Each structure stands twice: as structure tokens, then as C-alpha cells.
Structure 1
Amino acid sequence: MAEGRIVKALSGFYYVQTEDQVYPCKGRGVFRKRNITPLVGDFVSFDLDSNQEGYITEIKPRHNELVRPPIANIDQAMIVSSAAMPNFSSTLLDRFLVLIEAKGIQPIIFITKMDMATEEEKAALQAYKQSYEQLGYHVELFSSKEPAQPERIAALFTNKVTVIAGQSGVGKSSLLNALKPSLLLKTADISKSLGRGKHTTRHVELIEVNGGLVADTPGFSALDFEGLEAEELGGCFPEIRERTGMCKFRGCLHVKEPQCAIKAGVASQEIPSFRYEHYVDFLAEIQSRKPRY
């Protein structure tokens, strides 16, 4: 019996990386009966037959998993936004941050295409960078026109399993190409009429980048808060999470309740008002969700 990590899933085969090579494996029928699907990123045990084809016999417990893209055991997520084409949206960035935080994954914020921003936009983005860094997030402003940057940024991937998230057209593939030109990932032109990029990536695969593994995947196709309850939302905002228990009322949702530490933090400007506004909007969205029976 051998052990390894699934690095690619394609056409019914799971490609398992061991220390010395990659083996194509099939999943055992027992997983189907138990409604378990092996995921890229899973640590597994497998048996090899005489043709060096493997059969997965066990899936080790997962630290975390995502449904879209289907991947497990992720260390960090690089959330890519762009300064222009499409324009930066703090609301969209915060949606991604909530979804990542809910899974217990470490986020890193990348803002690409800084070379395409106006001076006014650059100043606004520097202010956002400062706000997010004060909340404890790592933020990188990235210009594909500056060749000195990829070396500095490549170090963030070392010894980590990374997913890259962000809306279409923000430059995810271009970013990876800059870090590792041999990947030659297909980069799609933005469809200017739609303001969206075309999907260029299909199956999920972990590729080696600077001593780490990166998921080459279309990323988050759904940005709704399905599965996240109203009471859990605050835990996905670090500035709310660290003030847990400081409100007068237990179970405070930080909207209408009196003597709320979060509203006090907004009033004293310790919590950025745009973050609180997003929290209130997301909470309303979760509370208006139709119950599923």
C-alpha cells in the first residue's frame, strides 16, 4: 500500500503524487456507496496493480474543503481583485473574504493591474490596502508591468497549498504566468461588451509553483452565503470576531441591539465603516434566504 496526495482529477482518474512519481488511480466503489468523492488535495492510501494503476482505498480526514472548486486541504487563498477592467469592488472582495474565512482558510489579498489605474484610483486603493492591513490581512498591489515583483510574491507560495479566487478577467492566469512562465496558462481577453473574462480553465489540478502547490481552476463560481448562518457571519470578520463577548447581549447581531461593541467600534473609527456596511448587507441577505426543507 502506498500513500500520497491527489493532484489532479480528470476523466474518472485521480492522479496521486507520491515522493517519487504520480500514479493514475481509480476510486473504489465503496466511496460511491458512502457518497464520498475523492477530491484534489486529498491525502489518500492506494494499492497498485501489476500495470502500475492504483485503486484508492482510504481518504484521510480533511482540514477543510471547498465545493466550487472541488478541492480539499487548502492552506491559503489568494483573492485577486483588479484596479481596473473590471474596476475594484470592496463589496466583492469582502464576499470572497467571508467565504474564505468561513472555511478556516488564510486569505491573501492581491490587487492587480495597478498600472491601469488613474492617480485617484491608486490613492483610493492605497487607503483600502491600509484598512485591510490594519485588520490583519496581507495585501499586495501588483503590476504586471514591473518584472521585479514576481520574485517577491513567489515566496508567498512556498510550502503552501493555494487556491486563487476572483471574478473573471481580474488577471488570475496572467499573475500565475508572470510567476511561472512555463505554465503558459491560457489567458482570455476580456469581453469588453460584458466586462467579463471568458472561462479559460476547466479541470482542477494542483501545479507546482515555487515550492508550493497552486490550484489551477476557474475558482469560485458561486458567491452566495448558502450554508452560512446569521450567527456565524460575524466570525468571518476579524474585527467583529475579536470583539466577541464585548456586547451587552449574548447573541448580539450588531444591528439593532443597544450597547453593541461593534457599533461602538464603527463610531470610534476602529472598525472601517465600509466593512460594517457590508456586514449589515450580508446579514440581511442571509436572513432573507428562503428556508430549505
Structure 2
Amino acid sequence: MRKHHLLAFSVAAGLTLSGLAVQPALAVAAPAVVTASKGRPAPVKPVTFRTDGVVASVDADAAILKVAVPAAGGTTSQATLTVAATASVTVDGVAATLAEVPVGSRIKVTGSGISGTRTATRLAVTTTWNFRQDGVVASVDADAATVAVTAANGAESVIPVAEDATVVIDGVVATLAEVPAGARVKVTGIVTNSVGSATALAVTTTWGFRQDGVVASVDADAATVAVTHLVRGRLAQTTIPVADGAVITLNRSASTLAALPVGAQVQVSGIVTNGVESAKKITATKTVKRRR
């Protein structure tokens, strides 16, 4: 089952969309212990730190700020910081108070730490930023004004679409309801406190493809050819529908789909329409061993 990430971008989603990634927090350096001249440890000196992430929660009364930061494996960890009473706080470049820092906003925190306790002295908050998501349309809900997009890594994001968003399909202005599943899409928009809103969708319904490999099987009745090929160093098999009138050659001579031998080297090219392939040309080569 694929995971769905709604573009009310929770910090736990890993923020994979272009424009959404936040930088890992910088760890606080270990406090230096200086030995005094008479062999006694000198007082531990505070060290500075910086933490970048997304605001998880704010307790202005207790002067406590929690920041979600990226961790290994696409997960997040949470840093709890005490905010100094004299801390400098800016929200979108404007002086503000800790109470005005919104959950979901991006934040850069700097401060000092000693013995595991970190005190923030400067908070720079950003509430709005751009994003871009490229992928394949998984589904569209025109009534709810959302589009689900599957990224190259297989993750699926459900993205709210603004009422005045620009939708273009194959260069022609269209509506969200006309966007077909299986089409390629580039979604751009605005994120406000981790809630995304698509402002433009550029949709492509048709594109070319080429698949090189070895003929695994042929089904002339169903007009398909299965090709074994490499994907990231591993063998995979893809079954490709073959269009009526496809040009098929075997050892440079005109041939038919039914005549393609299993094990032949093959190059299949054609057109993809909304995610459905259709082979227009098949070039196969089969080495015939001659008897001595």
C-alpha cells in the first residue's frame, strides 16, 4: 500500500517536494573543559548552536519552542529549546514575539548551550515559500480541489489546488476536472506554514518511450510483447502493448509479432498516452549459430 502525504505538509513527511526540504539541525558541540593551572577544572563555557527545521509547537508562557528537524532515513526528530526572554524573534523579516511564531513555519534558531541545555537567542521564522512537485497524476478530485501525484520514488502526495490555479494540458488551458490520471504533471505553488496550495499545473498526456532488452514472451493474440531488462542493476520484466501497424523487423528483415523469438535482443519504441504504452516499432536481433 502506498503512503499518501497530504500537502498540509507535516514535518514527518520528510518534505521531499522541491522547495520543502529543511536543512538538518547542527548539533551542539561538546562543551570544552579547560584545566586550571592548579589542576582544577575550569568552568564549562557555553557553546553556540544552530537548529533549522519546522516549528512543531510553541509555549509562549513557558518560553519553550519545539522544532522538528530531519533525521536519518527520512524521519524527523524533535528539539526542545528554551527561548531567552531577550531573544530576537523575526517573522518574515518583521520583529515579533514568541507567541506570534506559527506552527508549521520554517525556522532557523541560534543560541548557546551548556551541559545539554540549549537556550535560543535568535529565531528567524519564514511562513511562506514556494514548492514544486513533478510526477504522474494518480487521481484528481475536482470537487475537493485536490490532485494526487506519484513521485519518482513511488511516494504519493495529495495536493490542494487553489481556486484560481492555472491548469494547462499539452499546452492548452484546461480545468482540474480535465486532468487525466496517468499523465505527467509539474505542480508549482505556495506553502504557508506547511500547508501547500498549487497555483499552476502543467500536464503532458503523451510522450515517447524506448525499451531495450531481451524478448521474454510474445502474445500475438493480445498484441503484447514482454521484455526482460535491467532496472538499477536488477532484472525486471515489462509487458508492452503493440499497436496495430507497428513496424517489426527481425535481423533487419520485415517480420511479425508472432515470429519474434524468445531470447532475441530487442529494442521497442513507441508512445505513452496517460501512462499507457503503445509500441510503434520493434527491432529484434537473433543470432543463428551455424553448424560446422
Smaller-chain TM-score bracket: under 0.3
Greater share of helix residues, 1 or 2? 1
Higher-Rg structure is 2
Write 1 or 2 for the structure with the bigger share of strand: 2
The TM-score with structure 1 as length reference comes to 0.26
So what's the TM-score if we normalise by structure 2? 0.26
